[in-house]
Amino acid sequence: MEESKPQGFRILSKFSRKRIFLILILLILVGGVGTGVLLVKASDNPDFCTMCHIMKPYYDSWYDSSLLANKHAAEGLVCHDCHESTVTVQVEEGFKYVTGNYENPLTQREFSREFCLECHSDFKEIVTKTNFSESNPHESPHYEDMECNLCHNMHTESEVYCAQCHEFEWQGSLDNEWQNI
Amino acid sequence: MKKEMGRRDFIKGMALSGVAVAGVTTLAGCGSGSADSTSIEWVEEADVLVIGSGFAGLAAAIEATNAGATVKIIEKMEMPGGNSTINGGGMAAAASPLQAKLGIDDSPEKMLEDMLFAGLYLNHVEKARVVAEKSTEAVQWTIDYLGVEWRDQLIQFGGHSVPRSYQTTNASGSGIVKKQLAKLKELGVEVGTGRKMESFVSDNEGRIIGIEIIDNYKFGEESGQSKYIKANKAVVLTSGGFGNDIMMRQQQDPRLTEELDCTNQRGATGEAMREALKIDAVPVQLSWIQLGPWASPDEKGFGYVPNFSVPAACPWGIMVDPETGKRFVNELTDRKRKADAIVQLGHPIINFCDSVGAAKAAPGVMDNALGKSILEFSTLDEMAKHYNIPVTNLKETVAKYNSYVQNGEDLEFGKPIPPTAQPLTNAPYYAARIYPKVHHCMGGIMVNAQAQVVNLDDEIIPGLYAAGEVTGGTHGACRLGTVATTDCIVCGRIAGQNAAKEESWV
């Protein structure tokens, strides 16, 4: 049977089956990696995040609000600057979204003080700025090294942690702007 | 939230297939037998696992670490310290070096008698005795080992027969907590915040072998993930009282409705104590819940006024009912008698002293509260007018009290007039409105003098220790001011030392 086939076909069939297979795999790999790279690249754009509808309120607060997330936007920061995300995490999140295994609204993420201070590095200056006569919210007598996000929220209004127990005069003197810093 | 709960229950169910997760009543049908610890996925372990990071928990952690145990501390709130880091920073010690320096005659027996009298003799005497006898050793430990800085004067809190209460230089319990945390950091032990104890895990002999926690827990949102931590030697429960657990406090004392303010941090709720009760720990005197008769409705929570009323306006001034302008109680009696007297009147009272007395207020208090919760009046007339007190009666009351001061004897209420007290004549006067707030739970689970938790059959629950406000009996019906700190430090240390001595079950 084989001899009856035209030579060209035989060669193609003999040498290229493997090659075609390899090329296909390569194409898939290159395509996959390329798509992956493109997706990861695209995901740096906050618009990408809104592909999941549950992200919209967080996106909105970044895009156009008086909240702290928007202040970070004004400085050129995007979602992934704080919500650092690996490919694995993104794939996981995508899978969770597709399968409906997600919370809405999302649990508020916690960020360490060290993380915030990577950019807001001059903490001493921050302390100086809030040295009110009655007390200094950045220098609590009760706690050392308080986490920034005990007071400062990105996507919701900030709140004075100390106000659980105290009514400081300086709280009244802060205008609404405080809730957005 | 429901989804979270569902997932958690599922995990719980999985774990229960092979082990007894003690204290989960919803799954009580699974029973507490057939334990097989090998089927639990322990994600972490420590020799000694401490629940809560107040005075007692931190003291226990320090001692257990120094005894060679590996230690983990879990704390459900965002920050460590609980109520310990937001109180007035007082600590009672009998026959202390500072008393000797100030010429004050005192003894542990005297302190014990004060505790029993205030406690209506309901106290578990052997527990109270340990606290009184080790009080000076404990305060000395805070100085020598922790480096706590104390003021150089002592305060006579209500119900104490002599001045015996130290106060931190920053007039806050944080003066102790911060030093404890610093020491633990040195020892390589950190507090795991945002980790809530969910239930005890015991083997089929009833020995506590670990706990289930909710990790990444956020108070109020009840979120997080279930995890199991193995305790090779013991669990030390130092989760505090339930002053801010409105459901639980009303179960015990129906008068303590949500309308009544509370001096505690918002996480002072009783779920960890309830888990201990579910594994048959003995509830002792849970319905004795203390109201702080020095708190002001004009500020939130604990506030500044306690640090004006206790060291200044009560010893060096008086309390009057604004409706009559008359005194109604011995201002230096214990908290229960004073709170009951105010609650009986049914409205806030006025506690005031003159400028000599006001100088005794804790540091920073007058600076921060004056013009807000503490007011200044240049005359008694001015004060009477402001609070709508019958002025003639007020002046008569002050004149009468001044005569008691001069004679050194309170003929009406038997207040022990401080020997150096002066008549109330040095204007301006300083006053605050006072109405009791929920402050301290005298009741709790039963422990023996070794801090071991005891069950309903009076047997020790193996592998479980407890100290601090979560325990009951030490103070009977009424805890004296600043004795809780002593209790926590003394018994927390005992719990930590003994927990570290336990044989590992692993």
**pLDDT tens figures, B230-271:** 999 999 999 999 999 999 999 999 989 998 999 999 999 999
**pLDDT over 90, % of chain A:** 29
**pLDDT over 70, % of chain B:** 92
Test B85 with A143 for CB contact under 8 angstroms: yes
Which of A142, A148, A164 is the best mutation test for B, with the most CBs of B within 10 A? A142
Which residues in chain B have their CB less than 8 angstroms from residue A166's CB? 300-301, 303
- Mean pLDDT lowest among A83-97, B47-61, B402-416: A83-97
Q: What is the pLDDT of residue B19?
A: 52
Predicted ipTM of the assembly: 0.80
| Chain A residue at shortest CA distance from B173 | A142
Contacts of B144 (CB under 8 A, 6+ apart): none
| Single-letter code of the amino acid located at B19 | V
Chain B closest-CA separation from residue A135 CA (Å): 9
Question: Is residue A177 very low, low, confident or very high in pLDDT (cuts 50, 70, 90)?
Answer: low
Round to whole Å and give the CA distance between A180 and B376: 37
Question: Is residue B392 very low, low, confident or very high in pLDDT (cuts 50, 70, 90)?
Answer: very high
| Chain A residue at shortest CA distance from B88 | A142
Q: Does residue B23 have a pLDDT over 80? A: no
Q: What is the pLDDT of residue A86?
A: 83
User: What torsion, rounded to 10 degrees, do the Cα atoms B158, B160, B166, B170 define?
Assistant: -10
User: Could you report the per-residue pLDDT of A116-132, keeping only the tens digit for each?
Assistant: 999 998 889 989 988 88
Q: How many CB atoms lie within 10 A of CB B10?
A: 11
- On whether any CB of chain B is under 8 Å from the CB of A167, the answer is yes
- Exposed/middle/buried for residue B457 (C-beta within 10 Å: 0-12, 13-18, 19+): exposed
Contact (Cβ atoms closer than 8 angstroms) between residue B24 and residue B200:
no
- On whether any CB of chain B is under 8 Å from the CB of A76, the answer is no
- On whether any CB of chain B is under 8 Å from the CB of A102, the answer is no
Test A108 with B303 for CB contact under 8 angstroms: no
- What's the start-to-end Cα distance of chain A, in Å? 81
- On whether any CB of chain B is under 8 Å from the CB of A160, the answer is no
CA separation, residue B153 to residues B109, B163, B164, B399, B419 (Å) = 22, 9, 9, 29, 15
Test A135 with B300 for CB contact under 8 angstroms: no
Which residues in chain B have their CB less than 8 angstroms from residue A103's CB? 3-4
Of the candidates B494, B498, B499, B446, the one whose C-alpha atom is nearest the C-alpha of residue B131 is B494
- On whether any CB of chain B is under 8 Å from the CB of A147, the answer is yes
Question: Is residue A15 very low, low, confident or very high in pLDDT (cuts 50, 70, 90)?
Answer: low
Which residues in chain B have their CB less than 8 angstroms from residue A110's CB? 194, 216
Instruction: Note if B335 is an active site residue.
Output: yes
Q: Does residue A133 have a pLDDT over 90? A: no
Q: What is the DSSP string of B18-87?
A: TSEEET-GGGGGG-S-S--GGGS-EEEEEEEEEE--SHHHHHHHHHHHHTT--EEEEESSSSTTGGGGSS
Chain B closest-CA separation from residue A130 CA (Å): 16
Tokens 């005659």, residue? B105
- On whether any CB of chain B is under 8 Å from the CB of A143, the answer is yes
- Phi/psi for B470 (5° steps) reads -70, -15
> CA A118, A124, A129, A132 torsion: positive or negative?
positive
Tokens 């193995």, residue? B230
Q: SS3 for B183? A: helix
Contacts of A177 (CB under 8 A, 6+ apart): none
User: What torsion, rounded to 10 degrees, do the Cα atoms B360, B363, B368, B372 define?
Assistant: -20
Q: What is the pLDDT of residue A115?
A: 93
| Chain A residue at shortest CA distance from B304 | A166
Q: What is the mean pLDDT of chain B?
A: 92
Per-residue pLDDT averaged across B224-232, rounded?
Answer: 96
User: Could you report the per-residue pLDDT of B39-73, keeping only the tens digit for each?
Assistant: 899 999 999 999 999 999 999 999 999 999 999 99
- On whether any CB of chain B is under 8 Å from the CB of A107, the answer is yes
Residue B253 sits at the vertex; the CA angle it makes with B250 and B255, to the nearest 5 degrees, is 80
User: Could you report the per-residue pLDDT of B359-391, keeping only the tens digit for each?
Assistant: 999 888 998 899 999 999 999 999 999 999 999
Residue of A143, A163, A165 with shortest CB distance to B79: A143
Q: What is the pLDDT of residue B144?
A: 98
User: Could you report the per-residue pLDDT of B106-152, keeping only the tens digit for each?
Assistant: 999 999 999 999 999 999 999 999 999 999 999 999 999 999 999 99
Question: Is residue B202 very low, low, confident or very high in pLDDT (cuts 50, 70, 90)?
Answer: very high
Contact (Cβ atoms closer than 8 angstroms) between residue B390 and residue B199:
no
User: Could you report the per-residue pLDDT of B70-86, keeping only the tens digit for each?
Assistant: 999 999 999 999 999 99
Of the candidates B43, B72, B469, B12, the one whose C-alpha atom is nearest the C-alpha of residue B265 is B469
Question: Is residue B27 very low, low, confident or very high in pLDDT (cuts 50, 70, 90)?
Answer: very low
Test B218 with A107 for CB contact under 8 angstroms: yes
Which residues in chain B have their CB less than 8 angstroms from residue A134's CB? 367-368
Per-residue pLDDT averaged across A19-47, rounded?
Answer: 71
Catalytic residue among B129, B164, B327, B335: B335
Per-residue pLDDT averaged across B164-190, rounded?
Answer: 97
| Chain A residue at shortest CA distance from B87 | A142
User: Count of residues for chain A?
Assistant: 181
How many CA within 13 A on the CB side of residue A98?
6
Question: Is residue B410 very low, low, confident or very high in pLDDT (cuts 50, 70, 90)?
Answer: very high
Test A165 with B301 for CB contact under 8 angstroms: yes
- Kindly state the helix (H) or strand (E) to which residue B251 belongs, with its residue range: helix B246-252
Q: What is the pLDDT of residue B165?
A: 97
- Mean pLDDT lowest among A84-88, B331-335, B349-353: A84-88
- On whether any CB of chain B is under 8 Å from the CB of A145, the answer is no
Q: What is the pLDDT of residue A165?
A: 86
Give pTM, 2 decimals: 0.83
Residue of A110, A150, A166 with shortest CB distance to B300: A166
| Chain A residue at shortest CA distance from B170 | A141
- On whether any CB of chain B is under 8 Å from the CB of A103, the answer is yes
Residue of B174, B302, B367 with shortest CB distance to A165: B302
DSSP state of B504: P
Chain A closest-CA separation from residue B196 CA (Å): 16
Test A107 with B302 for CB contact under 8 angstroms: no
Contacts of B453 (CB under 8 A, 6+ apart): B237, B276, B281, B445, B446, B447, B460, B461, B464, B465, B466
Which residues are B48's β-sheet partners?
B71, B234
Q: What is the pLDDT of residue A25?
A: 73
Test A135 with B368 for CB contact under 8 angstroms: yes
